[in-house]
Structure 1
Amino acid sequence: MNYLIIGAGLSGMVLAERIASQRNEKVLLVDRRDHIGGNCYDEKNEANILIHKYGPHLFHTDNKAVVDYLSAFTEWEVYNHKVLAYIDGREVPIPFNFNTLYKVFPPELAQKLEQKLLAAYPYNSKVPILELKQSADEDLQFLADYIYEKIFVNYTAKQWGMKPEEIDGAVTARVPVFVGRDDRYFNDTYQMLPKQGYTAMFRNMLDHPNIKLMLNTDFKEICELKDGKFYLFGQPFDGQVIYTGQIDELFAYQFGELPYRSVRMEFETLSRRWYQDAATVNYPNQYAFTRITEFKHIHPIDRDRTTILKEYPEPYVIGKNTPYYPVFTDENQRKYAQYKDLAAQIPNLTLVGRLAEYRYFDMDDAIENALHVYQNKFEG
């Protein structure tokens, strides 16, 4: 066995599958959780409703290579995600678009703002909210301030625990104004879900005799990093170690902890057919939770009961909750660079994925990244 992969999330599973099937090499895949799939894990609950245990994960991409890769392990169902935001007592579509304009403003003002947006930006384009705030046009400045205050600033403060200006632009750019009438939350070419769910697709990925899976196993129980060398089951290990966990944990927090945001997930199964009009409704300005997701909109099933999820953002605390989102600040990036330099001194260590690379990946990005790592480092 020449490959040890720590973490059975997207990155670890893709690399395990590629090494096992393409190189015909044996892989040991280890995860401290009791399931595969990382935060993309889904399961049916007591009401037979398919839920996403760690919050809604919606597959969307323009990358045909990623779709082709995953299609070997699943059939697909088309799914276009729609999100509403509860603003001033009404639910309006987001990202903020022309349909939203006409719901929140009088028709004459909405039409004027629509025309000015079209004059300033291409149709069907996305404009980051902080960019719109820099507009020299007074009406567009008014619109930017409205969106910023009503939809963006309080939601961002809840989600990240800081002001939008303190967050890296790569994060704030994810909250755009859409210059058009497309109510879909995503505009990618491919928007779909695995027909039998994510976990079924993941099981197919790992269904290979060369893959040995160890769940409920913290990597530190079987693996030790000492003086720049790995030991597996107490013996020196010169094979490849692919690490997808938290990089600061791997190096025993030598330079201090890297901060993450976490989310407390509260599921409720209710004795009613439907709870809300869209899969997800955001609550930027009320309540401690940021959004409510109703899973029957995502995975339709004929039931007189429904399951919802309320998400309460909170700081990540080691041993208490789950790290979801790296916190992108200059200070944290400098700290990560110290850990990355340390990792570079270990020739048989490869860092892959959101936690190990301290980056935010959408699902398709994580899969594309793992495929590139395989092609560049392990293929051939």
Structure 2
Amino acid sequence: MNLKIGIAGAGFSGAVIANELAKAGHQITVFEPRKHIAGNCYSSRDDESNIMQHHFGPHIFHTDKAHIWEYVTRLGQMMPFTNRVKAMSQGQVYSLPINLHTINQFFNAQMSPSEAKEFIACKADSSIKQPQNFEEQAHKLIGEQLYQAFFKDYTIKQWGRSPDTLPASILKRLPVRFNYDDNYFNHPFQGMPIEGYTPLIQKLLDHPNITLRLNSTFDATMKNQYAHVFFSGPLDAYFDYKLGKLPYRTLDFHKEVHEGDYQGNAVVNYCDNSQAYTRISEHKHFTPWESHSSTVIFKEYSREATAEDTPYYPVRLSDDNTLLDQYVELAKQQKNITFVGRLGTYRYLDMDTSIDEALTASKLFLEALSTQKTMPVFTAQ
């Protein structure tokens, strides 16, 4: 039984599901409101410098899931790349995530790993047993001084909110290391597609059973045209914001072109209030196997998203997700639709998780068809 399936969004979530269901013989229509595919992973070469640009902020592929690494390497060649972030704080340059070099430099010391671990344990607030928010998590993990230097002002710039209103889980993603490892990610599989992310998405969508409609927004009135819909757009947008808008942060990118090497690194965070931007990314450093005489940088500014903005980061507060809960309950009343991806489930997702969840959603849908069971509205939450 071949079905007509509608998919909202041509990023990783939508493209993976489209490909999996198209291979199973279903007729897929993918609606993408932008003029290009690949969502926020969209990349293309700069017309003048030929540098590969990440148009919506740096995307470094990393995963601890071997099957996801195998999946993405089938889509295109992945080149080795290690993200080594630098941080500007109080007029000094440090390495992030916090590691033994950061600790020794910050405290003007020469501690061994065991000495540094004991030292930070003394700085940390051991009275906090179960951190309830970002600030408590920082105090429990690294203490007041490192929190003030690297996270407090940066977090306020990034989220526009006091850190004590944000969930502890945000900081849990960032490790503290008591060695000199400055690899930003812990995952064993890391890399960068040799020609950017757009060709990976293009390969997924290049199937005779897939029709792509750019500059076309899927809305709820179109749902009855399809046996099932996978919606990776904003959850609240599907319901025409009838309960109010879920809060998002958006980003403004200020592009500059320079000669030579601007900052000597792919990503530099600006952790205090000396600058309004949160970080500068220099995109030729994301492709160290290439050589370019000029350089392109993007200064990144975070602010609250309006209705006209591209939503980037869902704002899940530590003490109030009432509106989200109401939308989730409203969604669960729907039939023949599954909400997927970062926007559809209102969660911060790395690329590998988006792919993994999209593969799971595809598998569940095909299983539901064969067993005549109901496909869930959310396959991950």
Provide TM-score, normalisation by structure 2.
Answer: 0.87
Classify the secondary structure of the residue corresponding to 2:321.
Answer: helix
Q: How many residues align?
A: 353
Kindly indicate whether residue 292 of structure 2 is the aligned counterpart of residue 316 of structure 1.
Answer: no
Matching residue of 2:59: 57
Q: 1:253: Cα distance to partner?
A: 0.9
1:363 to 348, 351, 356: 351
Classify the secondary structure of the residue corresponding to 2:302.
Answer: strand
Query: Which AA in structure 2 matches 1:34?
Result: K
Matching residue of 2:77: 75
Matching residue of 2:283: 295
Deviations 1:40-63 (A, max 9, x none): 010001210001000000000001
Distance, in Å, in 2 between the alignment partners of 1:182 and 1:34 is 41
Kindly indicate whether residue 3 of structure 2 is the aligned counterpart of residue 16 of structure 1.
Answer: no
Provide TM-score, normalisation by structure 1.
Answer: 0.87
Checking the alignment, whether the CA contact within 8 Å between 1:129 and 1:173 is kept in structure 2 is no
Deviations 1:281-324 (A, max 9, x none): 110112110000111110133222100011000000001x2100
Checking the alignment, whether the CA contact within 8 Å between 1:258 and 1:332 is kept in structure 2 is no
Classify the secondary structure of the residue corresponding to 2:94.
Answer: strand
Matching residue of 1:6: 8
Matching residue of 2:270: 283
Matching residue of 1:103: 105
Q: 1:107: Cα distance to partner?
A: 2.4
Distance, in Å, in 2 between the alignment partners of 1:52 and 1:287 is 22
Q: What stretches of structure 1 of length at least 5 have no aligned partner?
A: 121-126, 136-142, 232-236
Between 242-251 and 104-113, the greater mean CA deviation after superposition:
104-113
Distance 1:119 1:166, change over 3 A: closer
Q: 1:111: Cα distance to partner?
A: 7.4
Q: 1:117: Cα distance to partner?
A: 5.4
Deviations 1:64-106 (A, max 9, x none): 1111222221111111011000122221101111011222222
Q: How does 1:8-157 map to 2 (within 5 A)?
A: 8-21=10-23, 23-46=24-47, 47-108=49-110, 114-116=116-118, 130-131=136-137, 133-134=139-140, 144-157=143-156
Distance, in Å, in 2 between the alignment partners of 1:266 and 1:252 is 31
Distance 1:358 1:105, change over 3 A: same
Q: What stretches of structure 2 of length at least 5 have no aligned partner?
A: 123-130, 371-381
Matching residue of 1:263: 251
Q: 1:186: Cα distance to partner?
A: 0.7
Distance, in Å, in 2 between the alignment partners of 1:290 and 1:134 is 24
Q: 1:332: Cα distance to partner?
A: 5.5
Matching residue of 2:221: 224
Checking the alignment, whether the CA contact within 8 Å between 2:46 and 2:52 is kept in structure 1 is yes
Q: 1:188: Cα distance to partner?
A: 0.6
Q: 1:113: Cα distance to partner?
A: 5.0
Q: 1:224: Cα distance to partner?
A: 1.1
Q: CA RMSD in A?
A: 2.2
Classify the secondary structure of the residue corresponding to 2:140.
Answer: coil
Q: 1:110: Cα distance to partner?
A: 7.7
Q: 1:119: Cα distance to partner?
A: 7.8
Distance, in Å, in 2 between the alignment partners of 1:328 and 1:292 is 25
Q: 1:174: Cα distance to partner?
A: 2.5
Query: Which AA in structure 1 matches 2:305?
Result: Y
